[in-house]
Amino acid sequence: MTIELDGEPFKVLNFSIMKQARGAAKTTIKFKNLVRGTTIENTYRSGEKFQTAMIEKSDHQYTYADGETFFFMNSETFDEVPVSSKVVDDKVQWLLEGMVVKLVFFKDKPIELVVPSTGVYEITETEPNAKGNTASGHTKPATLNSGATITVPGYLNQGETIKVDTDKGAFMERVQ
């Protein structure tokens, strides 16, 4: 859920309700400011109301980066949208040219980039497979074509294609 506080959008991360014997219930809510990236925690009395933030999500295709700015093309209108590296944040490690992502807008300004929860990537650099070391569950670091470095099983080699959980940054399976 996304609400608006002091003119800025906040995402509710978690909340807890404390009911007291005679008094009104109090709710403690932890928010993340979607513009600044900061988190706050506030306590509210029962019955307080919040305004829902008017955010929009739309599909955009990643086209290229120029310095600190990343450019995405709206999949419906074909408009080019510049997005700062502050918004892209650590998701840059999963971006591939042509990838379709979701951009979240607040008052026509991009505030968040959402990459697909899984992606298919090629291993561009990793240690060679150690022969005979298949039963021990050996793992090794691997660099992907997006620039991300993850831990993969020891049997994988450079040039192989794998499926990755982008939320956790973890290997899922080999893709044939």
pLDDT tens per residue, range 20-68: 888 888 999 999 988 888 899 999 888 888 899 899 999 999 999 999 9
Instruction: Say yes or no to pLDDT of 132 above 80.
Output: no
Q: Which of 95, 114, 133 is the last residue of a domain?
A: 114
> 109: domain CATH number?
2.40.50.140
Domain that includes residue 109, residue range: 55-114
Nearest CA-CA partner of 30 in 15, 18, 19, 48: 15
The mean pLDDT value for 74-96 works out to 93
- Average model confidence (pLDDT) for the chain? 91
CA distances from 11 to 42, 76, 118, 121, 170 (A): 13, 26, 23, 30, 25
Point out the domain boundary residue: 99, 114, 129: 114
Number of domains in the chain: 3
Q: What is the pTM of this model?
A: 0.77
Whether the per-residue pLDDT at 137 is higher than 80: the answer is no
Residue in the block written with tokens 């290997």: 171
**Whole-angstrom Cα distance, residue 59 to residue 142?**
29
pLDDT of residue 133: 58
Q: What is the CATH number of the domain that holds 45?
A: 2.30.30.30
Give the single-character DSSP code of 88.
H
